[in-house]
């Protein structure tokens, strides 16, 4: 099903696909640099690659947190990355208005975990007939994703992707229930593991989300061993300087080594 995406390379290699990029679009040169680095790695390893970047961040902890550089500016950057590198792109949408803006610029619309039950948003996104990636809410079981699928299919759109990104564990942590992966795979749509967001530590007292990036390799290995179809990894040359989610992102220099290890597990299966 994912093979229907335009410009997706290495569709027949039987590898997991990779959704990767910065959390938020901060700068054109930085975004293109990150995308080129990931694309070069994926070309070498024959991994299908989809570039991601949020054109705005609507769900921030604090009022003074970075929300974006301007919608049209950021969306144009995402589109230019996709066109220059000839790769598919994805961004998240938070409202029906966002859907109407973003649909002209990207190949995949993503529904954030907090909004996965917002029927109007899901229907509006589905009606674009683009691929829709729904992140499973931290408050949902894997089985409940079938109801979201039904909403999308009601528009005659069958271009659906499902993403596991951890479940709430108390107030300030997330944990991945790996049983969710085989359960969601039974729904017959591609299942993705959002590695980096699964390692967030939200609701910190200072209002800035924390993270546990040293566990990225562990979570990713477990996901591949469970048979995920795709991985979602946010990466940045210097996560500590990133304007959003730096605490749980993977340093760009570490991406290739991680992917090499993950491909060995994939091949062993």
Query: For residue range 161-178, what is the model confidence (pLDDT) as tens digits?
Result: 999 999 988 777 889 999
192 part of a folded domain: yes
Query: pLDDT-derived band of residue 201, with 50, 70 and 90 as boundaries?
Result: confident
173 part of a folded domain: yes
Mean residue pLDDT of the chain comes to 92
pLDDT of 145 reads 97
Residue among 64, 47, 59, 54 nearest 22 (CA): 54
- Please give the tally of structural domains in the chain: 1
Name residues whose C-beta falls within 8 Å of residue 207's C-beta, 6 or more positions apart in sequence.
61, 62, 65
Q: Report the pLDDT averaged over residues 198-220.
A: 77
Q: In the structure encoding, which two tokens stand for residue 169, read together?
A: 């564990």
pLDDT of 171 reads 78
14 part of a folded domain: no
* 77: pLDDT strictly greater than 90: yes
| Gap between the Cα atoms of 134 and 44, Å rounded | 29
Query: pLDDT-derived band of residue 210, with 50, 70 and 90 as boundaries?
Result: low
| Gap between the Cα atoms of 257 and 265, Å rounded | 13
Helices then strands, each counted (H, E), the chain = 8, 13
232 part of a folded domain: yes
* 153: pLDDT strictly greater than 60: yes
CATH at residue 262: 3.20.20.70
Q: What is the pTM of this model?
A: 0.93
pLDDT of 169 reads 84
Phi, psi (degrees; rounded to nearest 5) at 228: -60, 155
* 147: pLDDT strictly greater than 90: yes
pLDDT of 168 reads 87
246 part of a folded domain: yes
Range of the domain at 228: 2-6+19-268
12 part of a folded domain: no
pLDDT of 69 reads 82
């Amino acid at each position: 099903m994912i093979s229907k995406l335009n410009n997706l390379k290495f569709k027949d290699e039987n590898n997991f696909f990779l959704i990767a990029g910065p959390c938020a679009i901060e700068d054109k040169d930085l975004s293109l640099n990150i995308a080129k680095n990931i694309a070069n790695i994926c070309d070498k390893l024959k991994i299908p690659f989809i570039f991601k970047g949020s054109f705005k961040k609507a769900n921030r902890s604090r009022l003074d947190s970075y929300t974006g550089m301007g919608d049209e500016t950021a969306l144009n950057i995402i589109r230019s990355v996709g066109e220059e590198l000839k790769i598919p792109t994805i961004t998240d949408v938070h409202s029906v208005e966002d859907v109407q803006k973003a649909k002209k610029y990207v190949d995949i619309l993503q529904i954030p975990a907090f909004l996965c039950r917002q029927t109007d948003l899901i229907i509006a996104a589905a009606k674009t007939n683009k691929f829709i990636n729904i992140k499973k809410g931290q408050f949902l079981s894997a089985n409940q994703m079938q109801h979201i699928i039904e909403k999308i299919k009601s528009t005659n759109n069958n271009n659906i992707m499902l993403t596991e990104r951890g479940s709430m564990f108390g107030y300030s942590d997330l944990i991945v229930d790996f049983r969710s992966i085989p359960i969601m795979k039974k729904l017959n749509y591609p299942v993705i593991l959002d590695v980096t967001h699964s390692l967030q530590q939200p609701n910190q007292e200072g209002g800035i989300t924390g993270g546990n990036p040293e566990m990225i390799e562990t979570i990713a290995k477990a996901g591949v061993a469970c048979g995920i179809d795709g991985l979602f990894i946010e990466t940045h040359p210097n996560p500590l300087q990133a304007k959003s989610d730096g605490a749980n992102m993977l340093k760009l220099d570490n991406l290739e080594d991680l992917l090499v290890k993950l491909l060995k597990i994939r091949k062993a299966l």
